[in-house]
Structure 1
Amino acid sequence: MSTTNSNLYTIMHDRKSVRKYDPTFKMSQAELEEIIKEATSAPSSSNLQAWRFLVIQDDTTKKELRAIANNQEQIETSSAVITVLGDAEMYKNVEKIYTQNVAEGHMDEAQRNLTISNTLRIYPSAPLEVRKSIATFDAGLISMQLMLIAKEKGFDTVTMGGFDKVKFAERFELPENQFPIVLIAIGKAAAPAFGSSRLPLEDIARFI
């Protein structure tokens, strides 16, 4: 069964990492909000949704961020930079999340109570690095989904992990439980992205 002509496959292959943006093109906050909201359908560990977002649109602030992010041009010329943050205390939202699950008919009260109990037994006692690793993994899932949604809506993106995360946290006064994971520049391309090759399947996958 072939599905390579589907809209999803087209979007996947059309999405490239764009580093040259039209600095005159500005996205609205409503457009950015819609993309992020749609992206939150991504899966997450125990549905705790450990992702948080800091969206930077202000030109002066983007210039400051560029200095923190190894002078990458796209920080300043893109319409916005979406910072994906992780929340190491994601378990504190468990009651809110699973109460909403019941209200929306996804589970009953007994399953809600069991899930909350198990979450509060496991997550708070897990080492900080383990919880940060969970949040980072989940950030990867939602980041990819966000970029595909952006492409479907006609926008271009690039992810950046090369920035001073300590300075970022200080500059934007992040609470202790939150930490920056990746920056996503978003806007309209001013030049085509470079193509990129991929390793052959036999180099990366084993079937047993």
Structure 2
Amino acid sequence: MADKQIVNNDFKDVVFNRQSVRNFDSTVKISHEEFEQMITETTTAPSSCNLQAWHFVIVDTEEGKAKLKQYFMKFNTPQIDTCSAMVLLFGDTDAYKSYRDLWTKAYHNGQIDKAKLDEVFSTFLPLYEHADYDTLVMDSAVDSSLAAMQFMLVARAHGYDTNPIGGYDTTKAAEMFDLDPKRFVPVMAIAVGKTTKDYVPEIKSVRYPVKQVFKFA
């Protein structure tokens, strides 16, 4: 199923020619089936201790987009109006509560042995069960950021373009879509769709010289 929907399997093109798009072809719709497949592919991303502390909300209706306009910065209106959907990524600070079931399933599937299962329950799980809220927020933000980048690459492999957005009132994001704001921490919004044929990027970004941003140690 996934192979049929992936239209670009050129790694270099997917990664290095990705760009942020602000105007999309508003006539292009993405089916819920394909979104489910893209999210399935996205959730193969790595996460802290395999916690997978992410949650996605796909906003693809006019009613949903009207909600976005209530708390997004005005300069993001073109993306809202023209994208096929806005993908909202939230960190899930309660993800550890499903952790036992997740690893138990891995054990019953034969993916890990009993010794590994016991190790997880005696090491990783207690770390989260006794963690303070700020630690849970930080880990879920890291997990969701990894998923965000993976989603943008997955979307491009499916033939779509994206625009990651952080310009919105984070205090309103969860409640606007009936989520518990303490549990679900907004990390990023990603507009997704197809560019118009005549679209020209407003800015061709310049990258810092590589020697400025790394060193060997």
1:61 aligns with 2:69: no
State the SS of the aligned residue for 2:123.
helix
The aligned amino acid for 2:171 is V
| Corresponding residue of 2:4 | none
Q: Please give the residue correspondences for 1:1-208 in structure 2 after superposition, counting only pairs within 5 Å.
A: 7-71=10-74, 72=76, 73-175=78-180, 176-190=182-196, 191-193=199-201, 194-208=203-217
Task: Report deviation, 1:7.
Answer: 2.2
TM-score, with structure 2 as normaliser: 0.88
Distance in 2 (CA, whole Å) between partners of 1:166 and 1:13 is 34
Instruction: Write the deviation string for residues 115-167 of structure 1: whole angstroms up to 9, x where unpaired.
Output: 02323321122111111011101111111111101101110101111111111
CA contact (8 A) 2:58 2:85 kept: yes
Shift of 1:207: 1.3
Quick one: distance in 2 between partners of 1:186 and 1:31?
12
Root-mean-square deviation (CA, aligned residues, Å) is 1.5
> Amino acid of the residue matched to residue 82 of structure 2?
T
Q: Structure 2: which 5+ residue stretches go unaligned?
A: 1-8
1:58-95 Cα distance to aligned partner (Å, 9 max, x none): 11220220231112120221000110111112211111
TM, length-normalised to structure 1: 0.92
Q: Give the aligned partner of residue 6 of structure 2.
A: none
Name the % identity.
Answer: 34
Report how many aligned residue pairs link the two structures: 203
| DSSP 3-state at the match of 1:24 | coil
Counterpart residue type for residue 33 of structure 1: E
Judge conservation of contact 1:19–1:74 (CA < 8 Å) in 2. yes
Residues in 1 aligned to 2:64 and 2:112: alpha-carbon distance in whole angstroms: 43
SS of residue in 2 equivalent to 1:19: coil
